[in-house]
Amino acid sequence: MVRAISTLIGFAFVGVLAIALFFTAKDAIQNPAPETAEHEFHLHPKDARLQSAGYFGTFDRQQVQRGFQVYKEVCAACHSLKYVSFRDLEEIGYSEAEVKAIATQWVIEQPSVNPETGEAATRKNVPSDRFPSPFANEVAARAANNNALPPDLSLMTKARHDGSNYVYSLVGPDAYRPQPAELLKKFPDAKTPNGLHYNPYFANLNIAMPPPLTADGQVTYADGTKATREQMARDVSAFLTWTAEPKLEKRHAAGFASVIFIAIFCFLAWGAYQNVWRDVKH
Binding site: residue ranges?
A: 75, 78-79, 209
End-to-end CA distance of the chain: 44
CB burial of 160-181 (b: ≥16 within 10 Å; e: otherwise) equals: beebbbbbbbbbbbebbeebee
C-alpha span between 153 and 236 (Å, rounded): 11
Q: Residue 281, SS3?
A: coil
DSSP state of 53: -
C-alpha span between 169 and 200 (Å, rounded): 9
**Which residues are bridge partners to 206 per DSSP?**
198
Instruction: Give the CA-trace dihedral at 201, 197, 230, 98, to 10 degrees.
Output: -110
Binding residues for heme c: 75, 78-79, 209
CB burial of 79-99 (b: ≥16 within 10 Å; e: otherwise) equals: bbbeebbbbbbeebebeeeeb
Residue-level length of the chain:
282
DSSP state of 282: -
**167 touches 47 (CB < 8 A):** no
